[in-house]
A and B are shown apart, each in its own frame.
Chain A
Amino acid sequence: MTDAVAVVLMTGIVAYAVFAGADFGAGFWDLTAGGPERGERPRAVVAYSIGPVWEANHVWLIFTLVVLWTGFPEAFASITLTLYVPLSLAALGIVLRGASFAFRKEVSRTSSRRNFGAAFAASSVLVPYCMGAVAGAIASGRVPAGGKGGDPWSSWINATSILGGLLAVTVCAYLAAVYLIWDARRLGNPTMVEYFRRRAVAAAVVAGTVAFAGLFVLHRDARYVFDGLTSRALPLVVISGVCGLGSLLLLRGQASRGARVLAVGAVATVVGAWGVAQWPYILPTSLKITQAAAPSATLETILIVFGIAVVVILPSLGLLYVLDQRSILDVDPLSDTGTHAVGH
């Protein structure tokens, strides 16, 4: 049962990476779109793309946090006490990002729009970096067991955390660029399709390179996870690599719909691989999942609630994504309704 709850936890993390990752990545492309004139059209695509679902994706973060603290309270205490700096930065970034995105729509002066846009875009990069750094801190064994705090600085400013942060930012940018190709296509804007296609290819190459170079960092700095990635989690690593290469090939050509599915697959498997690699530890190599687990009554409740959530919440989220993809939620009826009914 403990393992089942750990799988639920990992599912939440993967969903957050795939859904919210694309949102954060869209902010990255907003940040790098250039001055007000040059960046106007890409920014319009970004705003169009994330408008209707821009905060719904944080349910996955809340879900992950709740499962972590109810299912594995000791690990939760250790993680939050050690990593309160990047976690607080991420929380502040999420607030600032949402507020600036909403404010930017309502102000008319160019200078205010630029300031809110900058706050939105900068926090879109800050948040995934912090999340990646947290993952790196856990993977490299810098979070001590026992519900006590480790070093508040060196725990997340180190080789593995920097790797995790960079990987998170590049992966988000990659996912977002791939999604934005379709949004630009729905808007009937070939220039922007090409614009994001080129960026998706570049981001794929960068993310792949960071991931590959990361193996050397893990070899030196997070040996247990490295060993896991090259044994237990090897199938997932291979699938992730194949998906990544496959989507890259498709992106170089017509960027057909498969590229998006493969991109999601590549990201989901790489996050999943991290979880499998540090099995059976929740904090490698000091706290096992079974040691950290809450009493069985709590775990049962989590599994029941998860079951209810699957039945109740997934269909409504699915509907939201489908409606969003079909552009039914949009004011602007430019799109070719119905041809892209597949959710993210």
Chain B
Amino acid sequence: MVVGDQVARWVYNNEPVKFAAIEMVPKTSSDVPETLLGHLNSKGQVSGGIAIPGLASWLSDPATGKSTVVQGLDTVPANQRPTDAEVNVVHLAWDVMVGIATLLFLLSAWYGLSWLLRRDNPKQKLFWWLASAAGVVSIGAMEAGWVVTEVGRQPWIVYNYYKVDQAATTNTGVGVTFLLIVALYIGVGVTLVLILRSMSRRWRTDPALAENEVPYGPRQPMPATEAEKEPVG
């Protein structure tokens, strides 16, 4: 969270337009609210969502607090910044990323409290359900972060130097290549899931595996050769 806060301030200083898209700030001003959810309507105004007064300004530079000026989307011509639709995508993805990170933090805090107070793992079933979901969900947060940075940079591929449509290839065969790659990865992905399922079925009925033993799980004293092999394979 500390790193995320630092990076967001870096964006505020170096890529103000992307920052405006993240915080959904149409016009430059001070005392900018932090808007959770919501969207830009057809007139380019913030609509809906929950506004926390002054928080976006305050987070941008705690030294000047609510009086910090946040540059708005209107400071650059429309063809040099993300469209309103793109801004909505960026803002939503940002909310998803930060929201997930906050929930993960709370989950860790739950565990920390339990350990502090009772010197034991949390007993509640809900905690273990959430902990199981945390792995998948954190990948979701990472992908949302990619959406923020890639959609937020539009229409630039190199900020202020080079636009995406100038950089894109005009070569033939792009569509076919794309379809082939999508087909290959769908094939590999489906095969992977099928194989994982068959492995799971096999292990469940494998008499060689003792009770409580997990394939690839922690084992009792391992032979040294096995231990060496794991990180490479």
Contact = CB atoms under 8 A, between A and B. Distances in A.
Contacts of B233: 51-52
A84 B173 contact: yes
Given A52-B233, A92-B184, A107-B198, A323 B228 contact: yes
Given A92-B180, A103-B191, A106-B199, A333 B225 contact: yes
A99 interface: yes
Q: Do most interface residues of chain B lie in helix, strand or loop, or is the interface mixed? A: helix
Interface stretch (A33-41, A135-143, A324-332): A324-332
Interface string B167-191: 0010111000100110011001001
A255 B215 CA distance: 42
Given A88-B177, A106-B195, A107-B198, A329 B228 contact: yes
Q: How large is the interface on A (under 10, 10 to 19, 20 to 34, 35 or more residues)?
A: 20 to 34
Contacts of A330: 225, 229
B226 interface: yes
B202 interface: yes
A108 B195 CA distance: 10
Contacts of B133: none
Contacts of A52: 229, 232-233
Contacts of A96: 184, 188
A81 B174 CA distance: 10
B171 A329 contact: no
Given A92-B181, A107-B198, A331 B229 contact: yes
Contact of A331 (B181, B202, B225): B225
B195 A103 contact: yes
Contacts of A84: 171, 173, 177
A205 B173 CA distance: 39
A280 interface: no
A81 B184 CA distance: 22
Contacts of A99: 188, 191-192
Contact of B169 (A53, A81, A88): A81
A103 B198 CA distance: 11
Contacts of A214: none
A150 to B, nearest CB: 11
Given A108-B202, A328-B225, A95 B184 contact: yes
Contacts of B232: 52-53, 320, 329
7 contacts: A81-B169, A85-B173, A92-B181, A329-B232, A331-B225, A331-B226, A331-B229
Interface of A: 51-53, 81, 84-85, 88, 92, 95-96, 99, 103, 106-108, 149, 152, 320, 323, 328-331, 333
Given A84-B173, A88-B181, A323-B228, 19 more contacts: A52-B229, A52-B232, A53-B232, A81-B171, A84-B171, A88-B180, A92-B181, A95-B184, A99-B191, A106-B195, A107-B198, A149-B171, A152-B173, A328-B225, A328-B228, A329-B225, A329-B232, A330-B225, A331-B225
Interface of B: 169, 171-173, 177, 180-181, 184-185, 188, 191-192, 195, 198-199, 202, 225-226, 228-229, 232-233
